[in-house]
Structure 1
């Protein structure tokens, strides 16, 4: 693989979306960095870097980018796929322990903010032809209230605002930001998402030359669909 191969970093490289996206982009000629708590750095290869990381600690986000930059190169595609939640009693959501609430916000929002900071710093050093794409794996909770999902709902809503703001602020520099949310064909929520569908959709976003709609609700086999508000 060429030393000039593009680089993708996936923060939150779980067995479904994260690992599948990594394999897909590797098949397209990308060097891949995977970061997650469960990874063993000894499993790294010349073109695939494994980084043990806990995104409840924002320092781990910075550490990921330092390692990727030094070992693979500056990433032109950054996927933030990390997520955290604790179920909240539907009838008493404020009974959640503050430690749990804080951890979820750190993983879902604060560490995503730090990742976006690091991504933008790198994008500025890449050639004009580079993809320069930041993708946040979202869900319907930025536009829907689901009983028992207060923590992740607040987190996804905050992250969606972050992505929306970034998509406007950086579009003239050629940096693209997306909040991606897989839906059913009728626009309702899907709870067993497809890693393959995400990989294909992420690839299309990375290949696009200009910023598209920041809120990327999509349907497997169909692609982007403006699903609007939550449908019961």
Structure 2
């Protein structure tokens, strides 16, 4: 890896993306902050404090091919290379029975959680293959739901299962170009997205229970460790979760 280290983080305006961005900036990366809301990206930059000069907001809609291509073109224009893509942007859906989920919401979940990851990976691979030195690292945000669904989560669960296929295909098809692809499956990190768990969430047995959460910075520390390895070493899959959350043996 060259002395200049460059990372792209999608969904960088809040939660996991924000925490990872700040940790990678601390590790010396120039970080492109990708997300749909400039005000949220600017807040991530502000929270970086003394690291703000390493954090660069770039408004991006990952579900739009033109917007994604513009993001990665800007990365090349500014820095001439790309070392890390953290494919983090995603959304859930309303907790409703399968037959009541509107098709337009289903399509939006697929467009962001799956097509968006594909588009970003595609653009990153093009850069990583052509740069000198060749290669880089792609980390896809899977989720505990890549293994076990929550009640009434078909859109989120189906796309997170699909992310595993995406990860495996990227790993296989790009290994000749020194591209390492990983998946991180995260359970109950303390972010605004999981705030509802402090009040109770539906369980498979029909009950509603409060679930424990973990510090989101532990996710960021894990990713920082993953990207610190040489490209000859890959953490193919990693699960990080609140120790006592109902995952193994759900509920």
TM-score of Structure 1 vs Structure 2, range by shorter chain: 0.7 to 0.9
> Shift of residue 9 of structure 1?
0.7
Aligned to 2:200: none
2:237 to 201, 210, 215: 215
- Count of aligned pairs between the two proteins: 215
Aligned to 2:25: 26
Aligned to 1:169: 173
Q: Which of the pair is proportionally richer in helix?
A: 2
Evaluate the alpha carbon distance shift between residue 68 and residue 192 of structure 1 in structure 2; reply closer, same or farther with a 3 A threshold. Answer: farther
Q: CA RMSD in A?
A: 2.8
CA distance in 2 between counterparts of 1:139 and 1:123 reads 25
TM-score (norm 1): 0.81
> Shift of residue 172 of structure 1?
3.5
> Shift of residue 213 of structure 1?
4.5
Q: Please show how residues 178-217 of structure 1 align to structure 2 within 5 Å.
A: 178-183=182-187, 192-209=213-230, 210-217=232-239
Unmatched tracts of structure 1, length 5 or more: 185-189, 222-228
CA distance in 2 between counterparts of 1:79 and 1:135 reads 5
Aligned to 1:50: 57
2:139 to 135, 138, 151: 135
Unmatched tracts of structure 2, length 5 or more: 46-51, 189-210
> Shift of residue 124 of structure 1?
1.2
TM-score (norm 2): 0.76
CA distance in 1 between counterparts of 2:81 and 2:242 reads 30
Question: More displaced, 139-148 or 165-174?
Answer: 165-174
User: Are residue 231 (structure 1) and residue 235 (structure 2) matched?
Assistant: no
CA distance in 2 between counterparts of 1:151 and 1:172 reads 33
Is the 1:41–1:50 Cα contact (8 Å) retained in structure 2?
A: no
1:150 to 154, 168, 172: 154
